[in-house]
Amino acid sequence: MRKEKRVTGLSIVPGKGVGKAYFVGRATQQTSLVSISRQDVGDQIMRFNEIRERAKEEYRKYAESINGAGTFDASILNIYEHILDDPAFIGQVVETITTKLFDLETSIRLVSNDFIKRFSAAGTSYFKERVSDMVEVCEKLVSYINLDEGRTRTFLEPIVLVVLRTFTPSDILRHDIDKMQAIVSASGGKTSHAAILARSYGIPVVSGIRGISEVIRPGDQLYVDADRATVFIRPPASMVARYEREKPPREEINRLKKKWKRPAYTRDGIAIEVMSNVSLVNDVDTANEFGADGVGLVRSEYLLANRKEFPSEDEQGSFYESIFKKIGSKHCVVRMMDIGGDKTPDFLKMPSEFNPFMGWRAIRILLERQDLFEIQLRAAMRAGQKANYSIMLPMVTTLQEWLDAKAVISGVAKKLGVKTPPCGVLFEVPLAVLEMGSFMREIDFASIGTNDLLQYLSAADRNNPKVNYLYNPIEPAFLKILRSAIDTSKDHGKPLSICGEMAGDPFHTALLVGFGLKRFSVNPRTIPIIKELISTISFAEAAEATSHIEALDSPDETERWVKRINRRLVGDVLQKLPLPSDF
């Protein structure tokens, strides 16, 4: 009998799931070269054109089936049609067939691998994520060659999809989603289209498992804990039983969703807003479904995905108008595009940087490329004439950057003849946080991006397993900075939210309420959980319980302290609540 084993990777979509391993895919790079005769060239090219059209039709059907379900924007699938119609891709496949006399499958795989190598060598996460798009199209076309056309595989028992390459949207859509408990993949990132689709269906994903086919075998029982980026292979029965026992009944999940359509108040009557972070128009539907009090962060960078040019004012305006219409009279915070870092579009022809996350990005680009900044501002302002919205600037470091940006915003509003919307700063640079008092005299509101702020403070990449132990949101120094920032906003009478992952972690809810936070911005599926916890907390008691932070010196001590706070303020409610992936 094979022993229990555990492997770790990267958490792409949080959550937990148990099921039998079901293998799909093979490494695209492993290509057998199959030759053809000169007289077969015409037939192979004709077959190529046929399967391209069939693939495009299947993507259109996928889009029709997805629209209105989940939070996945089906228009994302258009990128695959663009690849299938790309003259460079078509030309290289035809040339490989014609000049090298390889068969259609060989030619598709060789050309796809060439694109994949170029994307992988691009040097940014943005382009590396496009690898999965190329894998998707390659595997789709090859499936038609091998007569595996568009069939949805159904299962009698729960499965965990084990993908031996980069996982793709078709891997999800062509298998029984109701039985799919999790996905384990050799590769694939958080911003890939497949990750967005999995997230919309609440399917946990762990990626980056090395030697996946060597450690997992078809039919193995798997317990995937994507919250900890861990896969347990052949877990003990007690572990599986505990997982099944701790899964909340569907009735409890539905009760919480229905209950928290309304605002949340602490036990002593203090209103706490719980807003939603969104990236796509359909995310707003989910935010409304889960009781969001508004949208605390609109990430608009997805408009740049797979683009050869900056999106037009009309296109961006349509995006914002759709979001404003869906959110209604509730407040919506539009973050200006955080271009750069891992979101580097090709059309900007940005210089290669040794450390792009600390280089030319976000507000630094927007101030230098005011033409792009003004296009986005005009789009938001025209769309928002009847909306309750505000504008937030990312990655601001100095007060002068803010003043320069505010002048551009005011200038655009004046030219349009509209009122300048409230404007604020996303505090994620330590230098700006240390000068928050100066900012507060100028800005209308503030938000703290705890993810980047903590990375910059700790000089540690949270996705790097060698150093991510330093990325600890309950590091005493970090908590003291957060508390000071919240106090500063309160002293100046300016609203402040937290929109990083820390805000959506139920373990930190009582702590943040105790610090005085009155606006959370979180993943939509987390909203009922955070609201339920807020309703059990006394604002005054939480403030008193968290007042001793100055005496803390180590993360271990802080963790024990936070656990004591949770026991005192929320009792066993925290242990009984569902996870976001349960919804």
pLDDT at 386: 94
pLDDT class of 435 with cuts at 50, 70, 90: very high
* pLDDT given at position 148: 53
- More confident position, 30 or 565: 565
The answer on pLDDT for 270 being more than 80 is yes
Q: How far apart are CA 138 and CA 295, in angstroms?
A: 37
How many Cα neighbours within 13 Å face the side chain of 540? 3
Looking at the predicted structure, is the pLDDT value of residue 123 above 80?
A: no
> What is the rounded average pLDDT for all residues in the chain?
86
Question: Residue 27 has what pLDDT?
Answer: 46
**H-type alpha helices, 236-346:** 237-246, 250-259, 281-289, 313-327
Q: What pLDDT digit, counting tens, does each position of 479-505 carry?
A: 999 999 999 999 999 999 999 889 988
Q: What percent of the chain has pLDDT over 90?
A: 50
61 versus 30: the higher-pLDDT residue is 61
By three-state DSSP, how is residue 210 classified? coil
CA gap 103, 106 in Å, rounded: 5
Residue 183 confidence (pLDDT) above 90: yes
pLDDT at 395 over 80: yes
What mean pLDDT is predicted for residues 544-557?
Answer: 88
Exposed/middle/buried for 534, CB within 10 Å: 0-12, 13-18, 19+?
A: buried
175-186 core/surface letters (b: 16 or more CB in 10 A; e: else): bebebbbbbbbb
pLDDT band (50, 70, 90) for residue 124: low
CATH superfamily of the 251-582 domain? Phosphoenolpyruvate-binding domains (3.20.20.60)
Lowest mean pLDDT among 53-57, 115-119, 235-239, 538-542: 115-119
Tokens for 273, please give them: 């807003």
* Least confident piece of the model among 288-297, 319-328, 411-420, 461-470: 461-470
The CA-atom distances, in angstroms, between 78 and each of 305, 509, 578 are 11, 39, 35
Q: Check residue 309 and give its pLDDT.
A: 80
- For position 463, what pLDDT does the model report? 63
Predicted confidence band at 219 (pLDDT cuts at 50, 70, 90)? confident
pLDDT, average across residues 546-559: 88
Q: Is the pLDDT of residue 346 over 80?
A: no
pLDDT tens, residue by residue, 353-393:
666 667 677 899 899 999 999 999 999 999 999 999 999 99
Least confident of 344-348, 432-436, 441-445, 456-460: 344-348
Query: Taking a C-beta distance cutoff of 8 angstroms, is the pair 108, 44 a contact?
Result: no
Six token digits for residue 115: 């694109």
pLDDT for res 551: 84
What's the pLDDT score for residue 246?
73
Q: Is it the case that residue 58 has pLDDT exceeding 50?
A: yes
Q: Is 330's pLDDT higher than 70?
A: yes
| Segment 84-91 mean pLDDT | 91
Does the pLDDT at position 26 exceed 80? no
Nearest partner of 349 among 122, 196, 41, judged by Cα: 122
Decide: 478 and 472 in contact? Cβ < 8 Å. Answer: yes
Quick: pLDDT tens for 238-252: 999 888 877 766 677
Whether CATH 3.50.30.10 fits 5-245: yes
C-alpha distances (whole Å) from 237 to each of 3, 15, 182, 240, 336 are 13, 20, 18, 5, 49
Which of 68-82, 94-108, 143-157 bottoms out in mean pLDDT, i.e. has the lowest? 68-82
> Counting every residue, how long is the chain?
583
pLDDT digits (tens, 9 = 90+) for 398-419: 999 999 999 999 999 999 999 9
- Comparing 566 with 347, which gets the higher pLDDT? 566
Q: How far apart are CA 84 and CA 60, in angstroms?
A: 13
Q: What pLDDT sits at residue 71?
A: 47
List the chain domain ranges.
5-245, 251-582
Per-residue confidence band for 171, with pLDDT thresholds at 50, 70 and 90: confident
Question: Would you state the pLDDT for residue 66?
Answer: 64
CB contact at 8 A, 224 and 16: yes
pLDDT > 60? residue 29 = no
pLDDT value, residue 193 = 74
Query: Between the ranges 86-95, 132-141, 154-163, 244-253, where is the mean pLDDT highest?
Result: 86-95
Task: Say which DSSP state 339 is in.
Answer: -
